[in-house]
Amino acid sequence: MARRGTTTTIADVARHAGVSPATVSRVMNDRFVGEPSVADRVRRSATELGYSPSPLARSLALGETHTVALLVPDIRNPAFQAILGGLTRAAARDGYRVLVADSAETPDDEPVLATELRRRCDSVVLCAPRMPEETLVELAATLGPVVLINRPSPSVSAPSLSIDYGAGITELAQHLYDQGHRTFVYLGGPERSVSNERRRRALDEFEATMPDVILHRISCGADTEDGRRVATLVRESGATAAIAFNDLVAIGLVDGLAAEGVRVPEHLSVTGFDDIPFARYTSPPLTTASVPYEELGMQAWQRLHALGRDEAPGDDVLLQPRVAIRGSTAAPGRRAGIGSGAAAETVGSS
Amino acid sequence: MARRGTTTTIADVARHAGVSPATVSRVMNDRFVGEPSVADRVRRSATELGYSPSPLARSLALGETHTVALLVPDIRNPAFQAILGGLTRAAARDGYRVLVADSAETPDDEPVLATELRRRCDSVVLCAPRMPEETLVELAATLGPVVLINRPSPSVSAPSLSIDYGAGITELAQHLYDQGHRTFVYLGGPERSVSNERRRRALDEFEATMPDVILHRISCGADTEDGRRVATLVRESGATAAIAFNDLVAIGLVDGLAAEGVRVPEHLSVTGFDDIPFARYTSPPLTTASVPYEELGMQAWQRLHALGRDEAPGDDVLLQPRVAIRGSTAAPGRRAGIGSGAAAETVGSS
DNA sequence: TACGCTCGTGAAAGCGGTTTCTCGCGCTGT
DNA sequence: ACAGCGCGAGAAACCGCTTTCACGAGCGTA
């Protein structure tokens, strides 16, 4: 904030133009209906004094801030950054700004963080994968306009936008199965994460459906480092294919395996999840499920914008990942053909 | 904002506790000096009514918002996301939030955007690589607390944090030279970008210093797609080493070259710049100059925080990139040895 | 000519806090 | 016993803008 008395206020303009603050306000907001000459005079005074209304004061008076909050567990996660990108761009088109906050992977802080953010903003995009359901229900009720990312729930009043992780992971497993794999290992994400739960359920079902499939499970994490850490465990598991919680884990795993002399996909196939921008450029390019996170961010804004104008926000949406077959998967025990480079890619729909 | 009359205000608490709003305010801000029993009563009323002060009203009254703005040309750029990450985390530690905005690569919009943001925030981190110097000087003067990213300038009153792009690119060139390359091609970034200018100057000087070096220049861009687009030009240039404006361009280039059957580094060496998190996982792992963007974000906050308390913000800083030698560079015309995997890496300092 | 309308504008009451200023009270000093 | 002092807490002004309400002027009509 500028030093007190430095900024020109609406009163200054009013005085300069010889009118009342009310009139200045009306002119600035195109709500003025009187003599055009008066409006002109006000406008001239405004530009002459370099006046622009204080957004803060307007927010207080109007009860709206033209700001939307985004709360995520870790802002450095590329998936959240993609959401942020989509949200920022979409909101900007309607003259809204985005306030970001990061709970530093501490679900306990999220309710108070969210409420605090909410008071600065008109609405909030909440991404709280590890928040307990009951806390979420309570929070969503008090929060007002909010959209939930990846937390579809009939008991919550807010619209939610989610990724069909189950469908994506099933399709990945099926792809591996079709290539001849029978022994899998799943590298689980954060323990209490909803999206991890979705993936696990889908894999449980896959295992139950396919009698000849063996599925090992390793509790891992969501970061590159987590993937690297479990490389040895994966190697020793006897699996021919590893299904990683996400791309970061997969990338870390591939790297960790390389350090142990295990080649991907020659010795072991690996799949990721998310299709972060660089998944296609990794070594080898990563077979993964492509998730439209930027789209998610844009749709989130669309819902909130509707909600803010008391329109119907639209139904909950379950966005379908698209599996992208790249170089990190191959038939077990078979060497990958020479020339299977970054350019080759198949995209399947689900 | 909650529906009018829904939120409990300071007046409600005052009434409930049988005191004046002034007293409530003092209690809430630990400025209360009277009878402890009164303070207790107020605190009880506050929690009972679920009261929390409106940040908006406080901001208006206090003249500070506890918010800092970040303005960048494109929020989707990983470098900016890293800065955002560092800034967000550092600011959060002091109870500040970050408001993000993206000028959509439109330098003309930046001055008005920045001023608008500034009115909502206590300070702003400005990253405007393509803004004309004179505009910047003017803007920085009116903006108040601001730190400039990558725009060191004696004529601007604001502190600046920059990357020594010249040193980084020179070191990369030198590395290539040491490996035996003599014909280079530089893939230039955005035409009017300051950081591109810095790289170009350094390469001009490098060319002048090394008599046997031939340096071609291609105007390219800053994105993966730009790199892919110029792959053919690069191949036809006759250069044995390509120095890309940044990692994204390098990655795109490598991909584009692969599509034309040109192998990296066997046929052509490629360097990037930035060392985005995935540079080490590309295929092949990218030789690049590692730039501490997250650190940049944190330092930016540190300066602004100091500035906000009328402390000396500290001197301008020129952060040194560290060149990371990876798999995308090799001696010209020599095949890379088998087994040069992602794990192998040398880090040099500058 | 008087009455009632509409139209253009200003006065003032919010929005929800903070802070200065003031005032009443009880305590001390002589 | 009374002036003076310090302390605890409230009244009111203020931050900068919006908006309702009121008011006076000008007009048309009876």
Same domain, A154 and A23: no
Distance CA A345, CA B296 (A): 37
Domain co-membership, A255 together with A231: yes
Do B24 and B154 share a domain, yes or no? Answer: no
CB interface of A with B, residues 309-338, below 8 Å? none
CB nearest A56 (choices: B59, B92, B99): B59
Q: Note if the bond before B53 is cis, omega within 30 degrees.
A: no
Neighbour tally for A261: CB within 10 Å: 11
The rounded mean pLDDT for chain B is 90
Residues A143 and A256 in one domain: no
Same domain, A119 and A240: no
Tell me the backbone φ, ψ of residue B215, rounded to 5 degrees: -125, 115
- Kindly state whether residues B123 and B267 are assigned to the same domain: no
User: What's residue A345's pLDDT?
Assistant: 56
Q: Check whether B150 has a pLDDT greater than 50.
A: yes
- Which pLDDT value is given to residue B347? 53
Give a yes or no: residue A3 inside a domain: no
Residue B7 has pLDDT above 70, yes or no: yes
Give the pLDDT of residue A140.
92
Take residue A116 and report the two structure tokens written for it: 């605090």
Structure confidence at residue A346 (pLDDT): 55
Sequence-separated (6 or more) residues with CB below 8 Å from residue A290? A274, A275, A321, A322, A323, A324, A347
For A108, the enclosing helix (H) or strand (E) is none
Are B191 and B336 contained in the same domain? Answer: yes
> What pLDDT shows up at residue A335?
42
B35 pLDDT exceeds 90? Answer: no
Measured distance CA(A168)–CA(B149) in Å, rounded = 40
Summarize pLDDT for B66-119 with one digit per residue, the tens: 999 999 999 988 889 999 999 999 999 999 999 999 999 899 999 999 999 999
Q: Pick from A100, A113, A264 the residue to mutate for testing the B interface (most B CBs within 10 Å).
A: A100
- Tell me: do A53 and A83 sit in the same domain: no
pLDDT at position B343, please?
40
Q: Report pLDDT digits (tens) over B223-272.
A: 889 999 999 999 999 999 999 999 999 999 999 999 999 999 999 999 99
pLDDT of amino acid B344: 46
Residue B89 lies in a domain: yes
| Share above pLDDT 90 across residues of chain B, in percent, rounded to a whole number | 77
- Domain match, B211 and B342 both: yes
Domain shared by B48 and B116, yes or no: no
In the predicted model, is pLDDT for residue B280 greater than 90?
no
The answer to whether A67 faces chain B, any CB pair under 8 Å, is yes
The pLDDT tens digits for B255-267 are 999 999 999 999 9
- Say whether B102 and A89 touch across the interface (CB within 8 A): yes
Residue B118 sits in which domain range?
Answer: 67-164+292-321
With distances taken from each CA to the C1' atom of nucleotide D18, the closest residue turns out to be A61
Tell whether A280 is covered by a domain. yes
Q: What's A233's domain CATH number?
A: 3.40.50.2300
Residues A112 and A235 in one domain: no
Whether residue A267 lies inside any domain: the answer is yes
Identify whether B4 is part of a domain.
no
Interchain pair B97, A120: CB under 8 A: yes
Specify the number of domains making up chain A: 3
Does any strand C atom come closer than 7 Å to the Cβ of A119? Answer: no
Closest residue in A to B281 (Cα) is A282
Q: Which of B35, B62, B89 is the last residue of a domain?
A: B62
Residue B3 lies in a domain: no
| Per-residue tokens: B269 | 């060496």
Most A CBs within 10 Å, among B93, B278, B288, to test the A interface: B278
Residues A240 and A338 in one domain: yes
CATH of residue B48? 1.10.260.40
Q: What percent of chain B has pLDDT over 70?
A: 94
CB contact under 8 A, A255 and B82: no
Helix, coil or strand: residue B185: strand
For residue A216, being part of any structural domain is answered with yes
pTM of the model: 0.86
CA of B20 to C1' of D10 (A): 6
N-term to C-term CA, chain A = 51
pLDDT by 10s per residue, chain A, length 350? 444 457 899 999 999 999 999 999 999 999 988 888 999 999 999 999 999 999 999 999 999 999 999 999 999 888 899 999 999 999 999 999 999 999 998 999 999 999 999 999 999 999 998 899 999 999 999 998 999 999 888 888 889 999 999 999 999 999 999 999 999 999 999 988 888 999 999 999 999 999 999 999 999 998 889 999 999 999 999 999 999 999 999 999 999 999 999 999 999 999 999 998 888 888 788 999 999 999 999 999 999 999 988 888 777 899 999 999 999 999 997 443 333 334 445 554 44
Q: Residue B251: which of A57, A281, A284 has the nearest Cβ?
A: A281
Distance B20 CA to C22 C1' (A): 15
Which pLDDT score, from 0 to 100, does residue B346 have? Answer: 55
**A102/B342 Cβ within 8 A:** no
Cα–Cα distance list, A49 to A55, A269, A317 (Å): 17, 67, 49
Handedness of CA A152, A154, A155, A158 (dihedral sign): positive
Beta strands, E only, chain A: 67-72, 97-102, 123-126, 146-149, 160-163, 183-188, 214-219, 241-244, 269-271, 288-290, 317-319, 322-325, 346-347
For residue A343, the model assigns a pLDDT of: 41
